[in-house]
Structures are given as structure tokens and as C-alpha cells.
Amino acid sequence: MRLLVTGGCGFIGSNFIRHVFAHYGTAMITNVDALTYAGNPANLAGIAEKYGERYEFFHADIADAARMNALMEKHQFFAVVNFAAESHVDRSISGPQAFIHANVLGTATMLDCARRHGVRRFLQVSTDEVYGSLGPEGQFTEQSPIVPSSPYSASKASADLLALAHHHTYGQEVVITRCSNNYGPYQYPEKLIPLMIINALSDKPLPVYGDGLNVRDWIHVEDHCAAVFAAMMKGKPGEVYNVGSDGEMRNIDVVKMILAHLGKPESLIQYVQDRLGHDRRYAIDSSKAHEALGWKPRHQHTDGIRETIDWYVQNRAWWEPLLKKA
């Protein structure tokens, strides 16, 4: 079985490649990545040497139809697993065009190429942010309306709708996963948890948006990767599967946990002007994935976040070069 993984040098994509090789001994992977600022080859250090011909890297933009067609002519892929995306909400507010290019045009190009070359499955990796913001109670289900709040989430919602349209129009075997907030190794330092860890280690202020009471459902990236693989293999074409861990925490409580684990004072917290259009709360109902895919998260979020803090403490050689580039 050969998989075409897009965005495989990013945070979740690289963890997915590691997960597949660790658990499925005959799988072969072609990783296509444009290596934009968050695509880091160091995320896959040692993979090519360890797995040899089972791993292949292809440097390209997924919106480049000529190059994607050439790649799919080279191999017969069982599935495309589409992680490639611009994903930072703040960047989408200041410059949405890059998000439309990668997330909408890129997905449309990959769907079309996969269909033309007989790729059996297309797994679209999406986000709970397409649902917008929740009130103080309840959870998003797969039937929740799509009400994106940011240019980022709007671009991902657009990609989801394109994927579903390809299923309904062409009969393409498309499956979509929508996941809650990920944490774990190899996450680019602009995101909340690694940013707070790295700032705390340097005794720098920890910027917290608004009142810090925004709620997110946190899931370990390894649990997300297991869910994506299960959806690729067992998901019903045309269906959406929500992926979460019932790990709701307020942002300020995550920040305080990081400070406590590192033995740093809460005086480092600095409240800053809230993000434009900031969603208040996300919560995911994953019961469909549990029942249909046989998947459940294995990490308890508070323990997993502490393990993640330790990973960043022990892996300065990975993240310090990224700060110099920023």
C-alpha cells in the first residue's frame, strides 16, 4: 500500500508519517510538501535512512497541477491523505490569499488529479473550526452547521465542500475528518502550547488573548493520527468524522499548567488585545468515530500536555533554529 501524504513535513503530517511507519510494516509513503515556513524537514529526521525505499520526498506545491499529475503517473497510490494547509488563524487575518491558494486551490487540484489517476481514497484532514463558535454547553456533531469565523476556517470549510462535491458528482471515495486542537512534538512555535513553553523557558512574557477564557478541546497529535488512519481504512465514502478527546480546557488554564510544570511565575502572563473574530468555545462529539471506526484517544490531555512540555525542554536543538528564522 502506497500513500501520498501532503504536507508531510508539517506538525501533524510528520507525526502521521511516523505513526504509519511505526504501526504498519508494509506501507510506503510519498511525502509532498512545498516547505513553506512551517514545513520543516527536521520533523522527519532519520526517516529516509530508516525506511529506505519505503519513503520518498517530493518538493512541490500541491496547487501545481502539472507536478501533481506527474507524481501520480509515477506511482499507483491507494490514498491521498491531505494535511497540506496554511493553518495559523492570525496569519489568515493579515493575509488570507495564501490560505485560499493552499487550502482551496491546493485541495481542488489534488482532488482532480487523484480522480483522474484512479487513486482509490481521498482523506481530507479538516478542523472543528469550520463549525464556528459554541455557547457554554453542547458539542459539535457532524450535523452541526458550517459557520466559519476566520479566513482560515472559511478556507477549510470551502475545501471540505469541494471534497464532498467530488464524492457526490464523480463518486470519488472522499472521507473527511474534523479534529479539535492538536498538541505534541514538532508543533511550530507560533501555536499556543509551544509558544507558551518556549517563552516561559526564556522568562519572556506569555501573551494571552483577551480574558484567556476561550475554551478548546485538546487532543494529542498521535491520537489524531490514529483516527486519520482509521478513517482512511474504515470510513464510509462521503462521510465526515469528528475527532476529539473530551479534553476541554480554558486557554488560561493551559498557560498556567505550563508555568506550574516549568516552575515559572504566573506574573509572566501578559493579557493582550483579543484576536479579531475569536471563537469562544469548541467542543467535539467523537461518538461517530468511536462507533464506526473503532477509534478512541489513548492520551489523557493533562498528562499529554505535561509530556509535551518535557519534549520541548529536551529538544531545544529542534526549535531554537526555527526562532532564528522567524
Active site (catalytic) residues: 128-129, 152
**Structure-block grid coordinates of residue 57:** 520526498
**Structure-block grid coordinates of residue 43:** 520533523
Q: Which of 200, 193, 312, 309 is nearest to 254 (CA)?
A: 193
